[in-house]
Amino acid sequence: MKASKLFTLSIIAIGVLVILLEAPLASAAPVPPPFDLHACGLTARAVLKTARHEAHGDYWLKVANALNGPLVEMPGALREAWGELQEDLELANDQFQARLDVCEELGHGPYNPDLDPVDFSFTVDNNFFPLVPGRTLAYEKLTPEGLERVEFTTLNETVDIDGFECRVVNDIETLDGEVTEDTLDWFAQQDTGDVWYFGEISRNYEDGFLDNLEGSWRTGREDAKPGYLMLAAPAIDDFYRQEYFIAEAEDVARVISLNETVVVPYGTYHNCLQTLEWSPLEPGNVEYKYYAPGIGLVLEVDPDSGERLELVDIIN
């Protein structure tokens, strides 16, 4: 064997050994806050452990692929896998802290809404979120990737979700005319006037092909639970879960204002409801949403990028 090739193999072997020896250290930091004996905190801690195990599992798969790849690429692939592991572990800890923040807002008990299907109807006429069968709300947003368009269509169709008869909404997103997401959402209104969100089938596309169903969930399946989409009588500082399927759908919202004036291409709307919405799954990412009386959502704003998803048309 030539000396240069032997030297290369020796370096690679040393690199692999270092990676293998260092790997157990990745789970050591950072250390979570003191142990929480309440259900909400215990749940957050259990999910943290799950996320860490998944991060390590993904890491070892990448190591396996690197060891099975070209020798000259192995050191770089191993370093990249190690770096991604650190990022995944950091995200897991950020999500853990975000879940604890939600616990502080909602109380520390388990999230298990006690709902009875007899108290619900598929007729949704909440002032800030009316669902009119046959009506489409069309939105557009200019992004660095192109023009994003969203069409939110209330269907005549209803569906039984865990005993609750729900109205079906078809939410289609396109980027420069190409479908990126095609979702079916399910909503029902309680006799109090509150609108509850019971789940969705989220079909995500890439290059014209169905890529995944990430974000999909359904009340009653794998312990998924519904949440408020819109309150009957929202008040400033109200805070609530919009959905609850651990590690997949954990959106929450806070009421910020009840008297906003919003100007979008389709018109000017007064006395709008403003909410701040975010998810522990994406710590630090928030968006403001504005709902007009009798219409529903008219504007979404990303405060970091300044991008605006605006109502541009209503099609009946």
DSSP string, the chain: --HHHHHHHHHHHHHHHHHHHHGGGGGS-SPPPSP--SHHHHHHHHHHHHHHHHHHHHHHHHHHHHHTS-GGGHHHHHHHHHHHHHHHHHHHHHHHHHHHHHHHHH-SS-------GGGEES--EETTEE--TT-EEEEEEEETTEEEEEEEEEEEEEEEETTEEEEEEEEEEEETTEEEEEEEEEEEEETTS-EEEEEEEEEEEETTEEEE-TT-EETTSTT-EEEEEE-SS--TT-EEESEEBTTTB--EEEEEEEEEEEEETTEEEEEEEEEEEE-TTSTT-EEEEEEETTTEEEEEE-TTT--EEEEEEEE-
Tell me how far CA of residue 63 lies from CA of 51, 69, 314, in angstroms.
Answer: 18, 10, 52
Dmax (CA) for the chain in angstroms is 81
| pLDDT-based confidence at residue 165 (cuts at 50, 70, 90) | very high
Q: What is the mean pLDDT of residues 128-140?
A: 98
Q: What is the mean pLDDT of residues 290-310?
A: 96
Query: Cα(230)–Cα(242) distance, rounded to whole angstroms?
Result: 8
Would you state the pLDDT for residue 38?
A: 85
Is the peptide bond between 110 and the residue preceding it cis, with omega within 30 degrees of 0? no
Tokens of 190: 């309680």
Mean pLDDT of the chain: 90
Would you state the pLDDT for residue 207?
A: 87
Q: Is the pLDDT confidence value at 185 over 90?
A: yes
Would you state the pLDDT for residue 248?
A: 92
Would you state the pLDDT for residue 208?
A: 86
pTM across the whole model: 0.85
Would you state the pLDDT for residue 201?
A: 95
Residues whose CB is less than 8 angstroms from the CB of residue 177 and which lie 6 or more positions away in sequence, other chains included:
149
Residues whose CB is less than 8 angstroms from the CB of residue 155 and which lie 6 or more positions away in sequence, other chains included:
133, 167, 168, 169, 170
CB atoms within 10 A of CB 77: 17
Q: Is the pLDDT confidence value at 220 over 90?
A: yes
Tokens of 276: 């701040």
Q: Which of 92, 4, 5 is nearest to 48 (CA)?
A: 92
Q: Is the pLDDT confidence value at 280 over 60?
A: yes
Would you state the pLDDT for residue 215?
A: 87
Q: Which of 177, 188, 117 is nearest to 147 (CA)?
A: 177
Q: What is the mean pLDDT of residues 263-288?
A: 97
User: Could you tell me which residues are beta bridge partners of residue 160?
Assistant: 165
Please name the residue that has the structure tokens 């006799």. Answer: 191
Q: Which of 233, 224, 45 is nearest to 127 (CA)?
A: 233
Tokens of 268: 């000017």
Residues whose CB is less than 8 angstroms from the CB of residue 181 and which lie 6 or more positions away in sequence, other chains included:
171, 172, 173, 202, 203, 204, 205
